[in-house]
Amino acid sequence: MSLIGKKAPDFTAKAAVKSEIVNEFKLSDHQGKYVVLFFYPLDFTFVCPTELHAFQEKLGEFKKRNTEVIAVSADSHFSHLAWLNTPKNQGGIQGVEYPLVSDFNKTIARDYDVLVEDEGVALRGLFLLDKEGVIHHATINNLPIGRNVDEALRVVDALQHFEQNGEVCPANWREGEKSMKADQEGLKSYFGG
């Protein structure tokens, strides 16, 4: 089932944020901002820390775009906190500043249709929510395939460009490049016809 164009399933869960535990982290508290919500399989694994560090490295770019980054996995909030306190050179994610939500009972992953039931972990799903909490973009990678954080930024830019200018963004579009009106004349103009 596709969640595109639908209100993102809300949740309230425990989360680790920097060195703190948040007992009632609510997705709906982030309305009014864009949200990149991403799922990863497990703490203390292999591809996962590369992704979490990559999002942290670009966190300032997301913030410039009024976009919150929120990560979710099936681990407990205690595991998240331990991983946040583990140095990078030991496989940890020390220095990650955005929230790590605990989906210990697997309901969030199930609601977003990324749960691998027999393994009890989430696929590498990523969802872009607008300021009203509507999902505009989703990608899902299998467990061994890491995602591209620059692509997540590009999609945020494309959504914001469309909202601000009313023009659609063609394949491989990047901020500052030519967009088009969503009609035949716009297409002809785009291709120089």
Which residues are the active-site residues? Answer: 48
Half-sphere exposure of 91 (CA within 13 A, CB side): 8
Q: Which of 31, 30, 34 lies closest to 15 in space, CA to CA? A: 30
* Token pair 């991403």: residue: 38
DSSP 128: E
**SS3 assignment, position 188:** helix
Question: Which are the contacts of 89, defined by CB distance < 8 A and separation ≥ 6?
Answer: none
